A = this chain, B = another copy of it.
Amino acid sequence: MKITQEGDYALRVVLFFSKLSPGEKIEARVMSESACIPLRFLLKLLRKLTVAGILRSCRGVGGGYILAKSPAEISLFDVITAIDGPINLNKCLYDPALCTAAHSDICEVHRALGTIQDRFIKDLQSVTFEKIIAE
């Protein structure tokens, strides 16, 4: 029940970008050194953030990454799911068939978990990087 190391790195990365002047471009190498994240590992992570539409990448000489949105439009939820995939407290919540197909009426518990999960997700969505850097 925790965020992965990669997810934690990603939060650090997006926080870093959020503090730059809007539109400022940074190369992975620089990011790697200033945030203490292994370069190779960072590159894969940046790719995920790019695919998720959080960053934009520029290839070639003088390339790098810039924020694709304003910090106000990026939430903790966006970053975490971009890296670690969708949040599902248990399998049943992501595919109810797994539960009903299975012998038991455990779904009473899963329903309760679902409610809690919904609130958890909303909480993560409510915290944007704009709010975080404003504190």
A interface residue numbers (CB < 8 A to B): 1-3, 8, 11-12, 15, 35-36, 76, 80, 84, 87-92, 102-106, 108-109, 111-113, 116, 119-120, 123-124, 127, 131-133, 135
Most buried by B among A15, A35, A84: A15
Q: Give the chain B neighbours of A76 by CB distance below 8 A.
A: 109, 112-113, 116
Would you call B1 and A104 a contact (CB within 8 A)? no
Would you call A87 and B12 a contact (CB within 8 A)? no
Kindly identify which residue among B2, B35, B89 contacts A104, using a CB–CB cutoff of 8 Å. B35
Would you call A132 and B108 a contact (CB within 8 A)? yes
Would you call A109 and B15 a contact (CB within 8 A)? yes
Kindly identify which residue among B108, B112, B132 contacts A112, using a CB–CB cutoff of 8 Å. B132
> Residue on B with the closest CB to A129?
B109
Would you call A124 and B132 a contact (CB within 8 A)? no
What's the minimum C-beta distance from A87 to chain B, rounded to whole angstroms? 5
